[in-house]
């Protein structure tokens, strides 16, 4: 429920989740193209309680996977049968990392882990 304080409106946490989609909201950055940087950010998010119910590595994997999707999507246009719409979808969904407490779906967590495992430390 929105509260009014001298004309200023504040959103409750649940309302913010509806807008931003997660408990932690990170804008995409070149910084996340490096696994060590993702681990540092994950450590901060977990240690400050912004993300709960996940290990630091799980948080880092999600951040890194978003970076891989975001920065690699433009090269997909070069593959026959993959068009602009798929690239745009990946960029649109990866440009913001919304991390929900407890983690994403099982399938997505498996994808994040695979990307983490098979990609180099930096791309």
* C-beta of residue 54 within 8 angstroms of C-beta of residue 23: no
Predicted local confidence at residue 19, as pLDDT: 47
Cα distance between residue 60 and residue 37, in whole Å: 8
* C-beta of residue 91 within 8 angstroms of C-beta of residue 77: no
Predicted local confidence at residue 24, as pLDDT: 92
Band the pLDDT of 73: cuts 50, 70, 90: confident
Write the pLDDT tens digit of every residue in 53-70. Answer: 999 999 999 999 999 999
* C-beta of residue 66 within 8 angstroms of C-beta of residue 94: yes
**The two three-digit tokens of residue 121, written as one number:** 């430390």
Angle, to 10 degrees, between the axis of helix 56-72 and the axis of helix 35-47?
A: 130
Q: What is the DSSP letter of 49?
A: T
């Amino acid at each position: 429920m929105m509260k009014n304080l001298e004309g200023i409106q504040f959103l409750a946490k649940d309302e913010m989740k509806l807008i931003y989609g997660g408990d932690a909201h990170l804008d995409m950055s070149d910084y996340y193209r490096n696994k060590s940087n993702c681990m540092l950010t994950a450590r901060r998010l977990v240690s400050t309680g912004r993300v709960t119910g996940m290990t630091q590595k799980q948080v880092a994997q999600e951040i890194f996977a978003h970076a891989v999707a975001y920065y690699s999507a433009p090269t997909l246009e070069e593959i026959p049968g993959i068009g602009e719409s798929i690239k745009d979808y990946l960029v649109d969904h990866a440009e913001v990392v919304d991390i929900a407490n407890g983690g994403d779906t099982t399938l997505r967590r498996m994808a994040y882990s695979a990307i983490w495992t098979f990609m180099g430390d930096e791309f």
